[in-house]
Amino acid sequence: MPPISRGFHGRRSEVDPARVPPGQYVTPDFPVLSAGPTPRTPLDRWSLQIDGAVDAALRWSWAEFRALPTEPVTVDIHCVTKWSKLDTSWSGVSLDTLLDGVDTEAEHVTAWSDGGYTTNMPLEDLTGGRAWVVHEYDGQPLEPEHGGPARLLVPHLYFWKSAKWLRGLTLTIADEPGFWEAAGYHNYGDPWREQRYWND
Ligand SMILES: Nc1nc2c(c(=O)[nH]1)N[C@H]1C(S)=C(S)[C@@H](COP(=O)(O)O)O[C@H]1N2
Ligand SMILES: [Mo]
C-alpha cells in the first residue's frame, strides 16, 4: 500500500497565510464576475469624469487620460465570493494624480460605470497611494471582460469596489450605497475584517 500523503508537493505553490484574509482561498485563476453584459464603448466616445461636490468637474478623453503619468501596481485582490489572487500586476493612473488640485467638502465617492454599475466608498480610501484607474493587466491592454478599457482598482477593499468600465467618480456629501451595497453587501468591505454583508 502506498503511504498516505501528508501534504501537497505538486502543483500547489506555497502561499504565505499572512497574505490571505479570513475565509478566503487563493486561486491562480482570474474569474470574471459581472452583474450584466460587458459594455463596449469605443475609445473615441470614452471619457473619465470627476464630478459632484466640486467647483468645476474634471474630464479626460482617452487620449488625455493616456497622457497622464502611469505607474505599475502589483497587489493582492480579494473577492467577496471568497477567491483571492496574489501578486496581480496592473498599470494605471494613481487617484492621487487624478484628484490633485480637486477642492471638495465631500467625504464620499460613488464610482460609476458604463452599464450602470455603481459602488461607494470614502473619498479618503482613494488617496494615499491606495487606488488607481488601471488600463493594463499583465502588460496587456485590459480585456473588456475584466473592465477594459479602464477600471478602478482599490485592492484594500473587497474587489466589488473596483468598478469595471469606469467612467466617473461622483464626490458626494452624503454616503450613497452603490449597486451591491444597496443589495446587502457591506457598506465598507474590508476583507481583513471580513466585512462581507450588512451585519458583518
Ligand atoms: N461595472 C462593474 N464593475 C464590477 C462588477 C460588475 O458587475 N460591474 N463586479 C464587481 C465584482 S463583484 C468583482 S469580484 C470584480 C470582478 O472583476 P473581474 O471580473 O475582473 O474578476 O469586479 C467588480 N466590478
Ligand atoms: Mo465580487
Q: Work out the mean pLDDT of the chain and round it to a whole number.
A: 94
Q: How confident is the model at residue 13 (pLDDT cuts 50, 70, 90)?
A: low
CA of 66 to the centre of ligand 2 (A): 27
Nearest residue (by CA) to ligand 1, atom 6, is 34
Angstrom distance (rounded) from CA 50 to CA 172:
11
> Across the strands, what pairs with 75?
88
User: What residues flank ligand 1, with Cβ below 6 Å?
Assistant: 31-35, 79, 113, 115, 117, 146-147, 159-160, 162-165
Nearest residue (by CA) to ligand 1, atom 21, is 32
Is residue 171 a contact partner of residue 54, using CB atoms and an 8 Å limit? yes
| Residue range 93-124, pLDDT digits in tens | 999 999 999 999 999 999 999 999 999 999 99
| Residue range 36-74, pLDDT digits in tens | 999 999 999 999 999 999 999 999 999 999 999 999 999
| Cell numbers that stand for 38 in this block | 460587458
Write down the domain spans for the chain: 24-30+47-193
Asked whether the predicted pLDDT for residue 10 surpasses 50, the reply is no
Closest ligand 1 atom, residue 158 Cα: 14
Ranges of H-type helices in the chain: 62-66, 95-98, 179-182
Asked whether the predicted pLDDT for residue 144 surpasses 70, the reply is yes
Nearest residue (by CA) to ligand 1, atom 24, is 163
Q: How confident is the model at residue 14 (pLDDT cuts 50, 70, 90)?
A: confident
Q: How confident is the model at residue 12 (pLDDT cuts 50, 70, 90)?
A: low
For residues 145-149, give the mean pLDDT. 98
Report the percent of the chain where pLDDT is more than 90: 92
The best mutation among 24, 33, 76 to test binding of ligand 1, ranked by most ligand atoms within 8 Å of the C-beta, falls on 33
Asked whether the predicted pLDDT for residue 4 surpasses 50, the reply is no
pLDDT at 6: 44
The alpha carbon of residue 151 and the mean position of all alpha carbons in its chain are separated, in whole angstroms, by: 7
Name the least confident of 12-21, 27-36, 57-66.
Answer: 12-21
For residues 158-187, give the mean pLDDT. 98
pLDDT at 5: 45
Angstrom distance (rounded) from CA 72 to CA 105:
30
Closest ligand 1 atom, residue 180 Cα: 12
**19 phi/psi in degrees, rounded to 5:** -95, -5
| Cell numbers that stand for 45 in this block | 466616445
pLDDT at 150: 98
Angstrom distance (rounded) from CA 120 to CA 175:
7
Q: How confident is the model at residue 184 (pLDDT cuts 50, 70, 90)?
A: very high
CATH topology of domain 24-30+47-193: Sulfite Oxidase; Chain A, domain 2 (3.90.420)
Over its C-alpha atoms, the chain yields an Rg (Å, rounded) of: 18
The best mutation among 159, 166, 186, 196 to test binding of ligand 1, ranked by most ligand atoms within 8 Å of the C-beta, falls on 159
pLDDT at 7: 47
